[in-house]
Amino acid sequence: MGNYDAIIIGAGHNGLVTAGYLARAGRKVLVLERRGLVGGAAVTEEIFPGFKVSSVADGVGYLSPTVRRDFKLDSHVETIDSDMIAFCPQPDGSQLTIHRETAKTVQEIARFSKADADAYPEFIELMQALAGVVGALGHMTPMDLPEVTFGDLRGAVRVLGPGRKLGRKRISELLRILPMPAADILNEYFESGAVKGAIGANSSLGVSFGPQESGTAYTMLNSWALSGNGLFRSAGVVKGGMGALCDAIASAARGFGAEIRTDAAVASISVEDGRAMGVILESGEELIANTVVSNADPRTTFMRLLDPRTLGTKLLQHVANIKYQGSGLRIHLALSALPQFTSLSTASGDDASARLGAPIQIAPSLDYIERAYDCSKFGRFSDSPFLDISIPSILDPSAAPAGQHLMSITAKYGPYELREGNWDTQKKAFADVVLNTLAEYAPDIRNLIQQRHVLSMPDLESIYGLPEGNPNHGEMILNQFFHMRPIPGHARYRTHIDGLYLCGAGCHPGGGVTGVPGHNAAREILKDSKQ
Amino acid sequence: MTRPTPFHSRTSALNEGQRWEDWEGFLAATMYSLDPLVEYNAVRLGCGIFDVSPLHKYEVRGPDAQALLQRMVVRNLAPSRPGRGFYTVWCDDNGKVVDDGGVFHIAENHLRLTSTLPSLEWLIDNSSGFDVTIEDVSEELVGIAIQGPTSRDLLRKLTNVDLSALKFWHCTDADVCDRPTLISRSGYTGDLGFEIFVRPEDAEKIWDSAMALAPDYQMRPCGLVALDMTRIEAGLLQIDTEFISAKQTLFEVQTISPLELGVGWMCKLDGDYFVGRDALREEKANGTSRWKTVGVELDVTYIEKYFSEFAMPLHLPERSWNEAVPIYADEAQEHLIGRGTSGMWSPLLKKYIVIARIPPQYEKLGSRFFIEEVIEAKTFSIPATVVKMPFFDPPRKKA
Amino acid sequence: MAETYDAIVVGGGHNGLTCAAYLAKAGQKVLVLERRHVLGGAAVTEEIYPGFKYSVCSYVVSLLRPEVARELDLGRHGLQIHPQEFVYLPMENGDHLLTHGDPHKTRQEFRRFSKKDADRAGQFEDLMYRMAFAVKPILGYKPPNMAAPSLRDLSTLKEFGGHLSGLGKETFHQLTKIMTMSADDFVGQFFETPIIRAMHSLSGVIGTMLGPKSPGTAYVLLHHYMGDLDGAFSAWGAQKGGTGMVSEAIASAARENGVEIRVNAPVSQIIIENGTAVGVALENGDEFYAKTIATGCDPHVSFRKLVDEKELPGDFVRAIDNFKFRGSSGKVNIALDGLPAFTGMESPRFLSGAIDICPSTDYVEQAYDDAKYGGFSKRPAMEICIPSINDPSMAPPGKHMMSIFVQYCSYDMDQYGDRDQQREAFGNAVIDTVQEFCPNIKDLILHKQVLTPWDMEQMIGLTEGNIFQGELTLDQLFFSRPTAGYADYKTPIRNYWQCGSGTHPGGGIMAMPGRLAAKEILGGKLVI
């Protein structure tokens, strides 16, 4: 039994980032992971033998450059970028590809609308400017509104530096756009459904609602801020899958001196006199630490790891009211060959595979996504689902046995609770709907499938500890942002219990493999321990 | 129309002036006779019977029933066992009073909570992690209170249990008129008395049986005025008078903690967690209480003197009042320091008594300040002294 | 030869009239020009069918600010509002929910459905009261310019900040929630019974092309809680003689103060010289000149129809073009031969308030989904009022006037076919749905007026038929209404002012935009 300066519960990427930073600052750190592997929702698993499946998360480019640099990740993990950001096949057999290069994208868009092609550079310029502020906000520790300290103000002025450069007009524009639906802002600039679908789809990928709902402009900007390529989403793969990225973070953290134990499920956090004393493992083992940091989601942290019987009424009410509501299933397919997309039937083999190496978005218009969402409001899964697909084996041949391919799909929308039946019986039916939809764009898909694996929201919950299958540890929704995330009064990574901190995606700025919550939490923990 | 309680067929027949008021949506008699003093006197000399059906009632059952209530209320329930009861307040996380009521330990793993405001959701919200079931039985149970020196003798005639063995704030299952009830030796009058929970279908039968004995025990049906007068003498608090529930206040400044409300004695700050404990510990340790709630006696000779300025004889209020009355440090009324919240001329004590909220430095017995009194549309300052509260605490209450 | 005035108000809606009345009180010579033959804009009452008074569009009053009623002495000018005592909500299973003016009785009614919901009823009302109290001061402020706050803006913000922190943290957090949540999520924190949730959520979607599950709708719910009648919070009522009489009362107050009002006087354009508004030209060629021109029309009409585009900066034009209207509500007014019998109704008295057709949130959400891509709800959510029950002057003896406010009907219905046929189909959908809950309705109909958002645009000039002169969504409130930098009632054109619902604090018969605009026109001080 050893004593630690800090114990981190959960070896998801945020937990590992916090651990690394604390260890780098000389703290004696232990990370405890329930499962047999590190990474949390960002893992690589051989779901099919020989295939390296990024089971849950696969958005790779979002990791904060600060973390990337501080953990020297670029020398430990190979990221293969795609020059194309999104490949969007259309029902009429055409396709729209968004390229990293603006000029190429403009050409593509011009096939759909000349006016949209003209508007595109202006639009991305505005988004990039606004995303700068949103990104800076993400690195800020939320204020405990309505109380604002002088330190908060100083921080805000510093962080919003890019904002001041925006100029008055753009600050007003930012304030206007933040609470808007993505659809509204896209409608202001574009007319073509395909173009709006291509740019806007990602705004709804991480939430349970459609692009016509308020708040999706924020998720769009947030993704824009984090993508690292100046566009609305990142594209590319990590060699070896998402797990390789977390393995690299873990080994960097170990390099800083952190200790990581897997198969070590935490049963509870011990608290005495309002102070966190350590943790008790499910095995009964007790570990003592000055600081306990939970990378688990807030509901798990407050309702399971702590004793809810000792928590304040208001706190319990706030935790009970956190909206999780996962809505995306993960479907993995082992394919015998690369599927033929109708819209690429005339393209050369290289061109086709280059395009398919980009994220594939089945979202021909914003209305299409919205209609997919409509079903889930009434407890049904979408009959024409919105799909976000990756074929990592194109850019990273090691992801699948030679000649074969791996396809991973995020399929939306499914409600966490079905009105009729349950996911155990219905996930097969939904997967069939997904494949039928996909077959409209890639007719040969069914013939290529060797194996398939479907993760429903309850699966994501039970295997990966994501309540209601929400990968973001809580819906990314306007009332769960900033000083409200995860709950009011607990948005500064600290909790009402001395020595207990939160570092997961349930905290500001939220989900995605960004490392930002973990980074911000470590900063606050170190700030406290200096005082 | 406000709803009748299951006693209504009986109470309305007795209500001479048909004077009713709204109590949580039910018709409650303001007074039955035209002179509330008659009812007040019945409680202090014989006994009074009150319809207290509008109280909210909740059954908490399960292995953690006691633990849940211990978490919720400020009082130490550790000594509780079946047959005990407790008066208590409960707080929000900020240590501000939410409501008050009774906890009745009916049986192993079965407790009942009564409250003035609806409390079902408060119970549910607090029950995370507890193995309990919570049931709102506000309308499945009605209540009467029989209060006053002869109450025990009267009730003896109606029940099978040995009431002399039932101690103050203890309760027992009992047949009353052969109907199943819970009798608790408790009440809101500061006198010897009992509260009886009965099923609505038994309400009329039990009321009738009790009323049949009324002449022998000088019992009268009593309304809310008599209840208010007796509870003021007993120094008991009333919601929306002495305090506003923290659930309902618009401003933080309107909230009040148990330490400020004069019920600090019931808060077990050194024990297990209860909602608001940490805030109350801090308040106590840092001395940040803004108020104290104390009993005050007005110097009636001054009131008499001021009446005489108008060549009028002394006139004292016939019934209690519940409103904020300014309290000043000085006779010139330049330094407002607090407020009287309830007051009355006590016919029994022959004293003008007031429950007052004042800053902590005025808390000591014997502290003096001035209370505003309006006589013939002119404002006067009446000297007032902090005295012991309860103002009236007869040995029979607990004997 | 043109006449000159100190001020001309374009549009005789209730805000235009209010603005005019305040300007006249300050001694200005004011002219109000109304396009139609009748005053009131959307707050009009007309005898469309002989003997029946139709409150054609707006049908209930709650938000009218007490200070306006007091300062303009509207009581003396005929303002007389009969408070609604009941809300009657028939259910699909024949049962119903009835809420009362008395909260205890409402709680008792909730108890039939859920003890929990009954328990929470008081808490919900307390919280809404708290929230309404928290935001009410905003109704009285000129919105600050957030990008470049003036000293006065800063002091406004400071004052409001002080007010908020006085309410405490918890209130602030709840306020953040209500500003951002969906009505259903917000209400779902309190209630579990579908019809109780739907009843509350319905006010969150009134006049807005959003469903109860759409984030942002909780604010609209709060907006409807901000009214008070004689100090009674969130009370709704019907004006004696119809909603038009509210406008008439304001007009009467305006006339008494010397305002000249002309009807049948459609303004064709604002006369602008060197970037300064100097007068208006009517469609018939008449011209009137004034030092101040105020427009009570919505931003689209005010800036894209009455003003030449070249008089305005390009980004302002773009902002106005991006201002969302998206009318979402229809109105069906019916003359009835007798009192309709709603299923399960115990007493006609209970029909005297509002009758809400919204059996569940799903029902309302489905109605929204039907209309959000264009078209109208197959089974719409509705708020029905029969003002003639309490006010016999609204209909001949024994007969009744029924006003049905319908959610949802989109502006662009013509994509589905001929507009007249669509209107007909829409009207039928409404009546068929009412019949589900009120079997004898069809036998009683003497006359029916069906208005889609498009009709409202044609008739009273509301762009896309939006009843609030612009959606009440987060990005179109306060300092962004109608657009940042011009939320202070000014416009890019000197001496041209805005005073309609398209400005802060928005729609409803509140009269506050008119009052605040007058205050700004008068240099920050009203003469009362």
Residue type, C289: Y
Chain B neighbors of A317, CB-CB under 8 A:
125
Same domain for A498 and A380?
Answer: no
In a domain, C357, yes or no: no
Tell which residue, B58, B49, B167, has the closest CA to residue B104: B58
Chain C neighbors of B26, CB-CB under 8 A:
104
| Yes or no, beta carbons of C102 and B2 under 8 Å apart | yes
Choose one of A200, A234, A268: the last residue of a domain: A234
Chain C neighbors of A145, CB-CB under 8 A:
172, 176
Same domain for C120 and C10?
Answer: no
Chain B neighbors of C104, CB-CB under 8 A:
2-3, 22, 24-26
Write out the residues of chain A at the interface with chain B, using a CB-CB cutoff of 8 A.
Answer: 274, 303, 307-317, 320
> What residues in chain B have per-residue pLDDT under 70?
1
- Rounded CA gap, B130 and B139, in Å? 25
Same domain for A170 and A47?
Answer: no
Chain A neighbors of B69, CB-CB under 8 A:
none
Same domain for C223 and C295?
Answer: no
The set of long-range contacts for A425-429, using a CB threshold of 8 Å and a minimum separation of 24, is A426/A381, A426/A456, A427/A329, A427/A454, A427/A456, A427/A459, A428/A454, A429/A381
In a domain, C528, yes or no: no
Chain B neighbors of C116, CB-CB under 8 A:
120-121, 124
Predicted confidence band at C232 (pLDDT cuts at 50, 70, 90)?
A: low
- pLDDT above 60 for A273: yes
Same domain for A219 and A348?
Answer: no
Q: How many domains does chain C have?
A: 2
In a domain, C55, yes or no: no
| Interface probe with B: pick from C113, C119, C120, C171, most Cβ of B within 10 Å | C119
Same domain for A117 and A14?
Answer: no
- Tell me how far the alpha carbon of residue A201 is from its chain's centroid: 14
Tell which residue, C301, C238, C278, C254, has the closest CA to residue C77: C254
Query: Distance from C124 to chain B by nearest Cα, in Å?
Result: 10
> Residue for token digits 């904002």?
A163
In a domain, C77, yes or no: no
Q: How many domains does chain A have?
A: 3
CATH number of the domain bearing residue A395:
3.30.519
Average pLDDT over residues C508-528: 93
Same domain for A297 and A349?
Answer: no
Write out the residues of chain A at the interface with chain C, using a CB-CB cutoff of 8 A.
Answer: 145-147, 168-169, 171-173, 175-177, 179-180, 184, 188, 209, 212-215, 314, 321, 323, 367, 370-371, 374, 377-378, 477-479, 483-484, 488-489
Question: Residue A260's pLDDT is what?
Answer: 98
> Which of A214-223, B46-55, B379-388, C173-182 bottoms out in mean pLDDT, i.e. has the lowest?
C173-182
Same domain for C160 and C246?
Answer: no
Query: Distance from B256 to chain C by nearest Cα, in Å?
Result: 14
List all chains that touch chain A, counting a touch as 3 or more CB pairs closer than 8 Å.
Answer: B, C
Choose one of A464, A494, A521: the last residue of a domain: A464
Same domain for A454 and A504?
Answer: no
List all chains that touch chain C, counting a touch as 3 or more CB pairs closer than 8 Å.
Answer: A, B
- pLDDT above 60 for C234: no
- pLDDT above 60 for A29: yes
- Rounded CA gap, C122 and C116, in Å? 11
Q: Which of A169, A188, A212 sits opposite C315 (nearest CB)?
A: A169
Query: Distance from C178 to chain A by nearest Cα, in Å?
Result: 8
Same domain for C276 and C316?
Answer: yes
Q: At residue C379, what are phi and psi to the nearest 5 degrees? A: -125, 90
How far from A67 is each of A39, A62, A229, A512, CA to CA, in Å?
15, 11, 17, 14
Same domain for A292 and A406?
Answer: no
| Yes or no, beta carbons of C119 and B121 under 8 Å apart | yes
List all chains that touch chain B, counting a touch as 3 or more CB pairs closer than 8 Å.
Answer: A, C
| Yes or no, beta carbons of A214 and C322 under 8 Å apart | no
Same domain for C255 and C230?
Answer: no
Same domain for A302 and A251?
Answer: yes
Predicted confidence band at C150 (pLDDT cuts at 50, 70, 90)?
A: confident
CATH number of the domain bearing residue C296:
3.50.50.60
Chain B neighbors of A274, CB-CB under 8 A:
278
Query: Distance from C122 to chain B by nearest Cα, in Å?
Result: 8
Chain B neighbors of C115, CB-CB under 8 A:
120, 136
Predicted confidence band at C160 (pLDDT cuts at 50, 70, 90)?
A: confident
- Return the structure tokens found at C203: 């006010």
- Rounded CA gap, C26 and C28, in Å? 6
Chain C neighbors of A374, CB-CB under 8 A:
369
Average pLDDT over residues C225-239: 67
Predicted confidence band at A367 (pLDDT cuts at 50, 70, 90)?
A: very high
Task: Give the chain A residue whose CA is nearest to the CA of B278.
Answer: A274
- pLDDT above 50 for A1: no
Same domain for A329 and A430?
Answer: yes
Q: Are A276 and A498 in contact (CB under 8 A)?
A: yes
| Yes or no, beta carbons of A175 and C473 under 8 Å apart | no
Choose one of A442, A464, A486: the last residue of a domain: A464
Average pLDDT over residues A167-190: 90
In a domain, C56, yes or no: no
Residues C47-57: tens digit of each pLDDT:
999 999 999 99
Which residues 83-122 in chain B show a CB within 8 A of chain A? 92-93, 122
Q: Percentage of chain A surpassing pLDDT 70?
A: 98
Tell which residue, B168, B149, B159, B158, has the closest CA to residue B219: B149
- pLDDT above 60 for A190: yes
Same domain for A434 and A504?
Answer: no
Q: Does B335 touch chain C (CB under 8 A)?
A: no
DSSP state at residue B318: S
- Mean of all residue pLDDT scores within chain C: 92
Q: Does C165 touch chain A (CB under 8 A)?
A: yes
| Yes or no, beta carbons of B118 and C129 under 8 Å apart | no
Predicted confidence band at A172 (pLDDT cuts at 50, 70, 90)?
A: confident
> Which of A189-193, A419-423, C344-348 bottoms out in mean pLDDT, i.e. has the lowest?
C344-348
Same domain for C230 and C272?
Answer: no
Residues A65-97: tens digit of each pLDDT:
999 999 999 988 999 999 999 999 999 999 999
Q: Other CB atoms closer than 10 Å to residue B378's CB: what's the count? A: 10
Query: Distance from B252 to chain A by nearest Cα, in Å?
Result: 14
Residue B360: its H or E element? none
- DSSP H helices in chain B: 8-14, 36-45, 65-72, 120-126, 151-156, 203-212, 214-217, 224-233, 277-286, 300-309
- Rounded CA gap, A110 and A124, in Å? 16
Question: Residue B177's pLDDT is what?
Answer: 95
| Yes or no, beta carbons of A314 and B129 under 8 Å apart | no
Q: Percentage of chain A surpassing pLDDT 90?
A: 88
| Yes or no, beta carbons of C119 and B2 under 8 Å apart | no
3-state secondary structure of C94: coil
- Return the structure tokens found at C312: 């305005």
Residues C120-134: tens digit of each pLDDT:
998 898 888 888 888
| Yes or no, beta carbons of B128 and A310 under 8 Å apart | no
How far from C200 is each of C121, C125, C189, C193, C357, CA to CA, in Å?
11, 11, 12, 11, 12
What residues make up the domain containing A352?
Answer: 325-464
Residues A145-162: tens digit of each pLDDT:
777 777 777 777 766 665
Same domain for C180 and C244?
Answer: no
Same domain for A158 and A286?
Answer: no
What residues make up the domain containing C506?
Answer: 3-43+239-323+469-521
Predicted confidence band at C296 (pLDDT cuts at 50, 70, 90)?
A: very high
Same domain for C209 and C137?
Answer: yes
| Yes or no, beta carbons of B22 and C104 under 8 Å apart | yes
| Yes or no, beta carbons of B118 and C122 under 8 Å apart | yes
Q: Does C405 touch chain A (CB under 8 A)?
A: no
**pTM, two decimal places:** 0.92
Q: Other CB atoms closer than 10 Å to residue B238's CB: what's the count? A: 18
Question: Residue C1's pLDDT is what?
Answer: 47
Say if residue A151 is exposed, middle or buried (CB neighbours under 10 Å; 0-12, 13-18, 19+): exposed
In a domain, C439, yes or no: no
| Yes or no, beta carbons of B92 and A303 under 8 Å apart | no
Which residues 126-165 in chain B show a CB within 8 A of chain C? 136, 139
ipTM of the complex model = 0.92
3-state secondary structure of A343: helix
Residues C256-290: tens digit of each pLDDT:
999 999 999 999 999 999 999 999 999 999 999 99
| Yes or no, beta carbons of C167 and B25 under 8 Å apart | no
Question: Residue A531's pLDDT is what?
Answer: 59
Q: Are A202 and A472 in contact (CB under 8 A)?
A: no
| Yes or no, beta carbons of B247 and C107 under 8 Å apart | no
Question: Residue B167's pLDDT is what?
Answer: 97
- Rounded CA gap, B352 and B357, in Å? 16
Q: Are A411 and A363 in contact (CB under 8 A)?
A: no
Question: Residue A161's pLDDT is what?
Answer: 62
- Rounded CA gap, A380 and A400, in Å? 34
Query: Distance from C170 to chain B by nearest Cα, in Å?
Result: 10
In a domain, C49, yes or no: no
Q: Which of C213, C215, C322 sits opposite A478 (nearest CB)?
A: C215
- pLDDT above 60 for A193: yes
CA atoms within 13 A on the CB side of A153: 5
Task: Give the chain C residue whose CA is nearest to the CA of B4.
Answer: C105
Q: Which of B24, B120, B253 sits opposite C104 (nearest CB)?
A: B24
Q: Are B71 and B275 in contact (CB under 8 A)?
A: yes
Number of Cβ pairs < 8 A linking chain B and chain C: 48
Same domain for C266 and C215?
Answer: no
Query: Distance from B278 to chain A by nearest Cα, in Å?
Result: 9
Same domain for A165 and A206?
Answer: yes
Domains of chain B and CATH, by start: 8-54+139-222 (3.30.1360.120), 56-133+257-289 (3.30.70.1400), 292-395 (2.40.30.110)
Q: Are B89 and B265 in contact (CB under 8 A)?
A: no
CATH number of the domain bearing residue A498:
3.50.50.60
Residue B285, C-beta contacts closer than 8 angstroms, at least 6 positions apart: none
Query: Distance from C206 to chain B by nearest Cα, in Å?
Result: 28
Chain B neighbors of C166, CB-CB under 8 A:
251-253
Tell which residue, C66, C58, C53, has the closest CA to residue C42: C58
Q: Which of B126, B273, B276 sits opposite A316 (nearest CB)?
A: B126
Residues C31-47: tens digit of each pLDDT:
999 999 999 999 999 99
